[in-house]
Structure 1
Amino acid sequence: MPSRTLPTFTLADVQSHNTKKSCYVTLGDNVYDVTDFLDSHPGGADLVLQYAGKDIAEILQDGTSHAHSETAYEVLDDSLVGHLATKKSAPNGSAANGSAVNGHAANGKAKTSATPKTPGPHPRTGMSSEEDLSKETDIDTDYKTHKFLDLNRPLLPQIWNSGFKKDFYLDQVHRPRHYKGGESAPLFGNFLEPLTKTPWWVIPIVWLPPIIYGTYLASLGFQYKLALAPWWMAGFGLWSLVEYIFHRFLFHLDDYLPDNRVGITLHFLLHGVHHYLPMDKYRLVMPPTLFFALCSPFWKVAHFVIFWDWHVATAVYCGAIFGYVCYDLTHYFLHHQNLPLWYKSLKKYHLEHHFLDYNNGFGVTTRFWDRVFGTELVPVVKTA
C-alpha cells in the first residue's frame, strides 16, 4: 500500500488541539488525533484530556497506572495525522532512522530489541491488557469465526433459540467484545429495549431517598442518635461480603448452570451480557427493579436475625443498601472513569477479572474477601 504524505505540525499547533472536540497527542515526532477514541478509553476521556496537546511516551510506560499493551499503539497507528517539525524529522516525515521512543519505534510499533517483555495474549480471551476491552470488535468477522452471537441482531432471541451447549456458551460469553464505541448492542430489538438500559445516575436517585428515610425511622428507636452509627456502619461493612457472595455464587453460577436454554438465557441476562460487552455504559449497573427483587428478602432476613429490635435491624439494613449504592457506582467508575491514584490498582484488578480470569477476582469494591476465600486474582506482572 503506498505511503501517504502527512503534514508537519509545530509544537504550538499540537498544543492548540487540547479539547474534547479536537484532541491531539504526540509520541516522539509523530502527531495523533485521538478525538474519536476519547469516549472509548477504558480510563475515561478525562485521563486522555490531561495529556491533550502533549507527549504521551511517559504515561504509556507508567506502571503505576498500568502498562499499555500493543493495542494502544495500534490505536495510535490508526490515528496518525502528521509529524512534528523538529530537527530529528527525516525528509519523509518519520523519525530519523526509526529511532525508538521509550522502547517503541516512532511510528508506534514496538522494537523488539528495546521493548520490555510483557505477558502475551491470554490463551482464552486473546487479550493482554485492559485496552483490549475497548478495541472495537469486527462484528462480521467475530460471528464468522466463533459462530456465537451476531451483534448486528437482537441478542436475546439468539441466546434463546441457539441451542448452545453450556461449555461453549460460557467460553464465548467470557470473551469480551466491544460494540461500536461502547454503545449498547440490541438486546430485544423492539419497544422493550429502553427498559434494558440503566444510566449510572439512576442508582443514587432511586436508592438514596429511601436509605435516608429508613435511617430516619431507625433513629427514632435510639435515645442517643449517635448510637445508631455503629449498627449502620456494620451494615455498610457487611455489604462487601454480600457483594462477594452475589458476584461469586449468583452472577458466576457457571459450574452449576443448567445446561438448557432457560438457564443459559437467565445467566446471560443477569451477568453474562456484562462480561460479553463489559464497556456497555447502560447495562453495567443493576436495574432498580432487579435489585429490589434481590434485596426485598434481605429486609425480612435482617429483621429475623436481629429480632429483638426493629430499629437496629433497620439501621443495619440501610447501611447495607448504602454499601450497594457505593458498589454499583464504583463498578461503573472502574469501567468508565479515571480514578484517584489509590483506586487505580482496584480498577486494574477488576478489569483483569474480565479479560484475564473470570473464575477469580470477585471483589469489586475490595479484594479483602478474595484473600479470605482464596479467590484473589493473580495480577499480570511485567518481567524485565
Structure 2
Amino acid sequence: MSLPINPPPRMLMGPGPIDADPRVLRAMSAALVGQYDPAMTAYMNETMALYRTVFATENEQTFLVDGTSRAGIEAALVSLLEPGDRVLVPVFGRFGHLLTEIAERCRAEVHTVEVPWGEVVPAELVEEAIVRVRPKVLATVQGDTSTTMCQPLAAFGEIARRHDVLLYVDTTASLGGNELLTDAWHLDVVTAGLQKCLGGPSGSAPITIGPRAVEVIEARRHIEAGIADAGDAADTPRGSRIASNYLDLAQIMAYWGPRRLNHHTEATTMLWGARECARILVEEGIPQAIERHRLHGEAMLAGVRGLGLEVFGDVAHKMTNVVAVHIPDGVVGDRVRTAMLEDFGIEIGTSFGPLHGKVWRIGTMGYNARTDAVLTTLACLEQVLRAEGASVTAGGGVGAAREVYAS
C-alpha cells in the first residue's frame, strides 16, 4: 500500500525551483469554487491587477497561462509567429536555444545573434541583425539561469520599436528580483513563472501582452464554432489559425476578458498560489523586493569568493538572484552536491551544455533570499569542500557575507 506523500526537508538553494513561501502554500490549500462563481471571477480580476503592478504595465491583457513557465513561452511564440515569419533570437545561454527551438517548431525562419556563455548580447549587434534580417519578432530572455547573466533590455525595446519589431521577453528567472519595466522599456509580450523570485511552485505562467501584440494575435483569432458569435469565426481566415488550441492567446484573452468565453477549466489551486505570490510581492513593494534580492545575492557572491572560489561570467551583468561558481580543480562537483543534499538537506545546482560539470549554480531568490539561508548554505558548503580536500578559507564564506550585511 502506498504511503502518504512526505517529502524530506530541503532548502532549495539552486537556480530554481525554490522553497515556496508558506503563505503561498496556505493559499493553495483553500477550497475550490466553480470557474464562473462570482468569487472566482473576482479573484481572477484581482490577479490581473496584481500582475500589472508586478510587470510594471498598464496592459489590459495581463493574466495567467495555466502551465509551467514554458507554457507561457510557447503560448507567446505560437500566437505571434506564423509559418515563414522571421524571428531574431539573441542567444547567451541555454534558454536562448530554447526560444530558437520553439520558434522553429512554429515553422518560423529563425536567425540568431550569439555570444559566449558568461556574456550578454550588445544592443548594437542586435540592431545590426534587425536591419539585416527584418524580423517580425525579437525574442529574448532577460535572465538566463544557465549562465546567471541578466540581459539589459531598455535598448532592445527602443530598437525594436524604432524598427517596428515586436519584442517578446521571457522573465521566468528574473521577474521579482531584477528590475523589469514593461511599459517604460517598450516590451510587447512578457512571460514568467512562479518558481524563482516570485516564491511559488511551478505550474502557472503570468503573462502581459501590449497593444501592438494584441493586434497581431487578434488578427489571427479563431474561436471554435458554436462557442463564439457567428461573426467572431468569420472575421479571420481559417488559414491564419493559431496552431495550438490550449495555448491560443486569442482564446485565453477571451476567457479572462469580460465575456469569460469558455476555453478551459481554470487551474483554481494554481490561481490561488499565483495570486498570493503577486500579493506578497506587491505588499513588500517591487523596489524593496529587488533590493532584497540584490542584498542577499551580493552576500552570497561575497561569500563564495570569501571561501576562495572563482565566480563564472561577467559579474557586472549577473542576475541578483543566482551566482555560478567554478568547481575547484580536483573536486567532483556532483559529489559535493550530493553531500550538501544528504548531509545538510541543501540543494545547489549544476549547469548545462558547455558548463555542465564545470560550475555550481547557487540561488538566493524568492522566499530563500534571506540572511539565514545565505549563511547556512555558505557554512555547509565550507564543510563539504573541506571533506573533499579542497583548500578553502576557514570561516571565509560566512565572514565575507556578514561584512556585506553589516555594511
**Taking CA–CA contacts closer than 8 Å with sequence separation of 6 or more, which of the two structures ends up with the larger relative contact order?**
2
| Structure of greater Rg | 1
TM-score by length of 1: 0.27
- From the two aligned structures, give the one with the greater helix fraction: 1
